[in-house]
Structure 1
């Protein structure tokens, strides 16, 4: 019921050993100038209590990234205002790019990934987040993701 991107779309394996780059399962810094956090775009599944989630990377300003990092392990961090960011994950099942969609990153309690809220536009991903998807759409996404993963190997 989920798909996750391992790195932001702009990550290059050559960054792995660079002193001014860092990639963890939750945060990423590129060349000491570009800052990212990983969060979840949650999409309700119609007629169920289920949720489909996309694990995505969002770029943050240096100030918001620093604040988020300072609060990362602090109880009560979910009271923080949402951070503005740009989606930095290309999701393979949309005909229109998902890169650079406007987002708000909502911090949740310690141990939970942030919730990524898309700006309410007519982009199909934003529409699905607002209106939900069917189980047939979940199966369609799963098939497309599995197919694109097998092509990359």
Structure 2
């Protein structure tokens, strides 16, 4: 949370005591609750496997907040190839895992405040020290999310995002 004293929601008019500096998706967009308990499916807080064929890791898209010392982040899911997922899993608890080369992946989280969709944006997943979520670097395109990652956002934009996420529809689970 930021030292900001909160915000008044532009959607509902309510005063929120704290401004969230992180929003995170519970699962990749392709996850279905019907997969729970299936032998070939797994959803943990860090990794996901769907039908033994699709592999995902959770990471952070970090965006500098230009009018503060804060960093805003999106907790997102990225699909990896079977080989890269296996490699990341093998190194999950290794002390020097951050020396690993970035893994190519596709963003599989639909962030509610961006148009066009954020699904299938190209990424590079940078492993960090044990206990830290990977850093997700977007390909430098003209997509609004990629632009924000490169140039930063204001606290007003963080407030706008908070209001949108708090009132998001029934799509992605936040």
Q: TM-score, normalised by structure 1?
A: 0.97
Answering whether residue 129 of structure 2 is matched by residue 76 of structure 1, we say no
User: Which runs of 5 or more residues in structure 2 are unaligned?
Assistant: 1-20
| C-alpha distance in structure 2 between counterparts of 1:147 and 1:11, whole Å | 21
Alignment of 1:50-61 (within 5 A): 50-61=70-81
The CA RMSD measured in Å over matched residues stands at 1.0
Counterpart position of 1:40 = 60
Answering whether residue 94 of structure 2 is matched by residue 94 of structure 1, we say no
| C-alpha distance in structure 2 between counterparts of 1:16 and 1:23, whole Å | 8
SS at match of 1:54: strand
| C-alpha distance in structure 1 between counterparts of 2:148 and 2:35, whole Å | 34
Alignment of 1:90-129 (within 5 A): 90-129=110-149
| C-alpha distance in structure 1 between counterparts of 2:67 and 2:39, whole Å | 49
| C-alpha distance in structure 1 between counterparts of 2:35 and 2:167, whole Å | 28
Match of 1:131 among 139, 151, 154: 151
Shift of 1:47: 2.5
Extract structure 1 runs of 4+ deviating beyond 4 A: none
Counterpart position of 1:30 = 50
User: Which runs of 5 or more residues in structure 1 are unaligned?
Assistant: none
> How many equivalent pairs are there?
151
* Structure with larger Rg: 2
Shift of 1:70: 0.2
Q: TM-score, normalised by structure 2?
A: 0.85
SS at match of 2:104: strand
SS at match of 1:92: coil
